[in-house]
């Protein structure tokens, strides 16, 4: 059975909720590893300041991904999510198939998604799809459709094997 790694960072719990919904859908057909990125719990003002500095990271736990397929779940902050930036700096994504899931509350989420998709592509990862989820209205049906798409693509594509 093919493994899928779901890697997430969540500060308020919204992204964690989305990651768990994806996990619960995918575990029906795959061996799924749910991996949390952990960092020091800085006060909001520190996170806000760090989010204004593109490409800056913070110290995180060691995160190992072994699967060919990775779902990365993250919040949209101003310009940068430092724990995710650190994760992308430490992980080997070459020829890994990536599904990017971004929870957001404000605006400009598409630009933010392109920014992180490009970071992944520079690490030679293959960004297959991006899901943008409004935090104030976590749409479980939208998440279910996204996970069905992942499952169908993984099952039907020899590239993942």
Domains of the chain: 3-156 (3.40.50.360)
Q: Model confidence over 32-64: pLDDT tens digits? A: 999 999 999 999 999 999 999 999 999 999 999
Output the pLDDT for position 32. Answer: 97
Continuous segment of H or E residues that includes residue 118: helix 109-122
pLDDT higher than 90, residue 156 = no
Distance CA 81, CA 75 (A): 7
Per DSSP bridges, beta strands 69-75 and 126-134 are unpaired
Q: Phi/psi at 94 (nearest 5 deg)?
A: -55, 125
Strand partners, 99: 71, 129
């Amino acid at each position: 059975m093919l493994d899928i790694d779901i890697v997430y960072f969540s500060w308020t719990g919204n992204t964690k909720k989305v990651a768990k919904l994806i996990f619960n859908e995918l575990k029906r057909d795959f061996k799924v590893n749910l991996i949390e990125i952990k960092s020091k719990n800085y006060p909001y003002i520190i996170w806000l300041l760090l989010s204004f500095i593109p490409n800056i990271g913070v110290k995180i736990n060691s995160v190992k991904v072994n699967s060919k397929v990775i779902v990365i779940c993250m919040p949209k902050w101003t310009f940068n999510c430092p724990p995710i930036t650190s994760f992308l700096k430490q992980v080997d994504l070459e020829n890994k198939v990536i599904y990017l899931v971004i929870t957001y509350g404000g605006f400009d989420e598409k630009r933010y998604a392109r920014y992180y998709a490009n970071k992944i592509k520079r690490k030679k990862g293959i960004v297959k799809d991006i899901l943008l989820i409004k935090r104030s209205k976590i749409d479980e049906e939208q998440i279910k459709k996204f996970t069905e798409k992942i499952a169908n693509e993984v099952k039907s594509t020899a590239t993942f094997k």
